Amino acid sequence: MRKFAYCMIALTLVGCSREFVESIYDVNYEPTNRFAKNLAQLPGQFEKDTAALDALINSFSGNIEKRWGSKEIKVAGKSNYVKYIDNYLSRAEVNFQEGKILVETVSPTDPEGHLRRAIVTTLLTPDDPMSVDLFSSQDIELKGQPFLYNQVLDQDKQPIQWGWRANRFADYLIANQLKVKQVDFKKAYYVEIPMVEDQIQIRSYQYANIVQKASRKYDIPEDLIYAIIKTESSFNPYAVSWANAYGLMQVVPKTAGRDVYKLVKNKSGQPTPEYLFNPENNIDTGTAYFHILKTRYLKDVNDPTSLEYSMISAYNGGTGGVLNTFSKDRKRAMSDLNSLQPNQVYWALTKKHPNSESRRYLEKVTKYKKEFNMPK
């Protein structure tokens, strides 16, 4: 089985230096555990790991910079898939939020041949994240159902499942849509491929049985699970983040993952990255954490709608963040929260929460939840 040790450190990498990371992501390294501090004495989920980051600067990022230049460094994130091949000469970026795919190469020899191979590889990449090393230029074994099946149509408006169709579409793109640009004093040959308009819905359908199973198991509404997945990853099972969060529901192993292991699974330790890259394991773990929020950390919230708002906010910014919105004193905070109507709780968590990301998070999730339109 592939070793995923690189994942434990690679997720903090988005550039050539730690300063670049912090300038792009406005990283907050203060502990913000996804549970009340007095209930679980664990380190914060955003611990600064400079040694791990520095160890990677001269490997992955260095290899990218060597080929593409310091201004063209791209790596996988929560809602985008990035994969390098050909010793970092070719790469693909799938932007799920914008519904666009960019495949490009800076190979000085036979650029069209390299680009053709990169296009085919992208179209036939399997839907199993366990089989793809996102943080190297290692080749991908093209087998099984393609990850992008039904999300991209060829020149005949047909989905791409087999090698012959992928190769034919690659030839068409190079013959009709090839573009050239300057990248770090060299030429980059590229094509842009649009995804179908309902690409997010198509991916969501793939996990319907898993979501239904988790919903029934942990008594969490299906539409809430779907909304969290859309917010966290745009249904990208390859999703990774600088906070060491993995997969569809962006589970952090050493905080939420460890809590689920201890309080739900009755086992020690924490889930591994490879465990969380499995969609079924990821959705089960993320939903189990919502169960913990509902039945343990926020069980004293009386109104069910206020409880749901609080759970959503706590999934992103911690139980402590929810309570601090109302008072620094835990008992006073819970009393104040329960004295409010649900719309007032929502207003407070989206306007007065101490963390701006958490304020936006609740707005996004509640908006997306309506899209799935499922009864509780």
Q: Please say whether the beta carbons of 193 and 92 come within 8 A.
A: no
CA atoms within 13 A on the CB side of 23: 6
d(CA 264, CA 287): 11
Q: Please say whether the beta carbons of 171 and 119 come within 8 A.
A: no
Active site residues: 232
Closest-CA residue to 65 (of 76, 74, 56) = 74
257-272: buried (b, 16+ CB within 10 Å) or exposed (e) per residue? bbbbbbbbeeeeebbb
Q: Please say whether the beta carbons of 119 and 191 come within 8 A.
A: yes
Residue 339 makes CB contacts below 8 A (sequence gap 6+) with none
SS3 labels along 279-332: HHHHHHHHHHHHHHHHHHHCCCCCCHHHHHHHHHHHHHHHHHHHHHCCCCCHHH
Residue 376 makes CB contacts below 8 A (sequence gap 6+) with 221, 223
- The token duo for 252 is 């952090």
d(CA 59, CA 184): 19
CA atoms within 13 A on the CB side of 240: 27
- The residues with which 179 forms a beta bridge, in sequence order, are 190
d(CA 242, CA 229): 17
d(CA 43, CA 76): 26
d(CA 204, CA 211): 9
